Amino acid sequence: MNTISMIGAVVVTLALISYSVGVISEQRKHKLVKTVLIFVTVGIILDVTATICMILGSSNSPFTFHGFLGYSALLAMLIDVILIWGFYKKNGSEIEVPKKLHRYTLFAYLWWVIAYITGSMLVMIK
């Protein structure tokens, strides 16, 4: 694994940690607090950075099965972050998150974790 790909692997793991803290906080409290905003925002920034590193560091085409899985998971999380920020801007913090947004956050996160795990498994197989 080259240096850029290794950096991408570390950064995507940091994204996993950040997303996990944000999403688990939201899922447990059913409320949008500043901690959630901070961690999901940092997570999306780290995720985009990691994706760029992995594309640049890979000798494979960026249009693989794992690539599409990863891009769709990144898109799902990006949509979630946009929805969370929109809800926050409209309603403020410490407000209960609507059920649809609560469920979508969980769905997007689980989809992202599946993409993370499949990417990790691909690296282990090589």
For residue 114, give both structure tokens.
């599946």
Whether residue 58 contacts residue 1, with contact meaning beta carbons closer than 8 Å, is answered with no
For residue 109, give both structure tokens.
């996160």
Rg for the chain (alpha carbons), in Å?
15
How far does CA 113 lie from the centroid of its chain? 8
pLDDT, position 59: 80
Over residues 31-65, the pLDDT tens digits come to: 999 999 999 999 999 999 999 999 998 887 778 88
Element of type H or E holding 2: none
pLDDT, position 126: 73
3-class state of residue 95 by DSSP: strand
Element of type H or E holding 78: helix 65-91
Positions in the chain short of pLDDT 70: none
Residue 81 CB-density burial (10 A; 0-12 exposed, 13-18 middle, 19+ buried): buried
How far does CA 53 lie from the centroid of its chain? 15
pLDDT, position 125: 85
Measured distance CA(45)–CA(12) in Å, rounded: 10
pLDDT, position 122: 84
Q: Which pTM does this prediction carry? A: 0.92
pLDDT, position 61: 78
The HSE-up count of residue 71 (CA atoms within 13 Å, CB side) is 9
Q: Which residue has the tokens 């996990």?
A: 20
pLDDT, position 40: 98
